[in-house]
Structure 1
Amino acid sequence: MNGTTPMINQRSPTYRLGYYISLFGAALILLWIGIFKFTPTEASAIKPLIENHFLTFFVYNFVSVQAVSNAIGVIEIIIALLLLFSVKFASLRKYAGIGMIFTFLITLSYLFTTPNIWKVVDGIPVTDFFIVKDVLFLGFGLMILNGKNE
């Protein structure tokens, strides 16, 4: 390949190690954050994100702040479990990838829909960096959706 795009040998030990570290790391973080969604602290923390988003602004009209957070937590836990079980059952990889792509596209869009999420610190625009990690998760979701990874 030209430029900085490498030829990837998916059978190499280094690639496989990196793939499994990414898979288990993503699953661990999704599981951890998913469990945290069941706490009142996290439910309150994500409220401004949810209520200012064009896809989710209305949900608090129907259910409580904690119920919304719980539902998001369940989705994150399911995706984590799909990732983990995809090690043994490759057919689950596609669903994990789709779940990751949708989840992280939505969470990344909060960067553009939530008022005052961007601040300027020492002349550099910054945001709550916990959302920025979702760029990596989105990329990994796209990788595993391909289905050729081992």
Structure 2
Amino acid sequence: GFPIIGSGQGIIKYFAVIPLYLFLFYKNKLTDKQHVFLNFIPVAMVLLWIGGMKFYEFEAKAIVGLVETSPFMSWLYTVFSVQGASNVIGGFDVLFAVLLGAGILINNKKLIIVSGLACLSVFLMTQTFLITATGALSSGALLDRLGQFVIKDLWYVGNLIVIATLILFKPAK
């Protein structure tokens, strides 16, 4: 069924809202480093969760309907098997979550930019499924499981924007 790991990542996705709320309404109560860390946690959790699950056969099979209809990802099945394509996707998710954490930890702006953009690409790619997945353009697509599953990824885009704002776009003191 779709999505196999939906309930687990759904719970994590709701945690993404908390640091956004704190940033918007309690900006001066926490340091910039604390805001960065709090916004990184849900991004890392979901990418490690969904990326790690891609290495399991049941998840590889569960994403076939999304990947094979995507003009951006369907090519993976011409190069790799279903499991191989899923492993590539999972490896990408895990690798760039870890690299973003490393970049934040060592305060390496170039690493943060590259890994942050890669993480952002995961969440933006997910949004394209609302257009490319079978039945996505139906009147109820936004309200059914696909819509709820996909739209929640926008919180992570917000988390990444907070991280970029505080690390990359902050004027030097």
TM-score (norm 2): 0.69
1:142 positional shift: 3.1
Query: Is the CA contact (8 Å cut-off) linking 1:107 and 1:134 kept in structure 2?
Result: yes
- Name the CA shift for 1:107/1:9 in 2 (closer, same or farther; >3 Å): same
2:96 to 55, 64, 79: 79
Identical amino acids, percent of aligned pairs: 27
- Name the structure 2 match of 1:90: 107
Higher percent of residues as helix: 2
Which AA in structure 2 matches 1:111? Answer: L
- Name the structure 1 match of 2:120: 101
**What is the alpha-carbon root mean square deviation over aligned residues?**
2.8
Residues 126-135 or 63-72, more deviating: 126-135
CA distance in structure 2 between the aligned counterparts of 1:68 and 1:116, rounded to whole angstroms: 23
CA distance in structure 2 between the aligned counterparts of 1:37 and 1:7, rounded to whole angstroms: 33
Query: Is the CA contact (8 Å cut-off) linking 2:54 and 2:86 kept in structure 1?
Result: yes
Q: Of the two structures, which has the highest relative contact order with CA contacts closer than 8 Å and spacing of 6 or more?
A: 2
Q: Does 1:64 align with 2:66?
A: no
TM-score (norm 1): 0.78
Query: Is the CA contact (8 Å cut-off) linking 2:39 and 2:163 kept in structure 1?
Result: no
1:30 positional shift: 0.9
Which AA in structure 2 matches 1:125? Answer: L
**Please, which runs of 5 or more residues in structure 1 have no aligned partner?**
1-5
**Please, which runs of 5 or more residues in structure 2 have no aligned partner?**
1-22
1:110 to 129, 140, 161: 129
- Name the CA shift for 1:58/1:67 in 2 (closer, same or farther; >3 Å): same
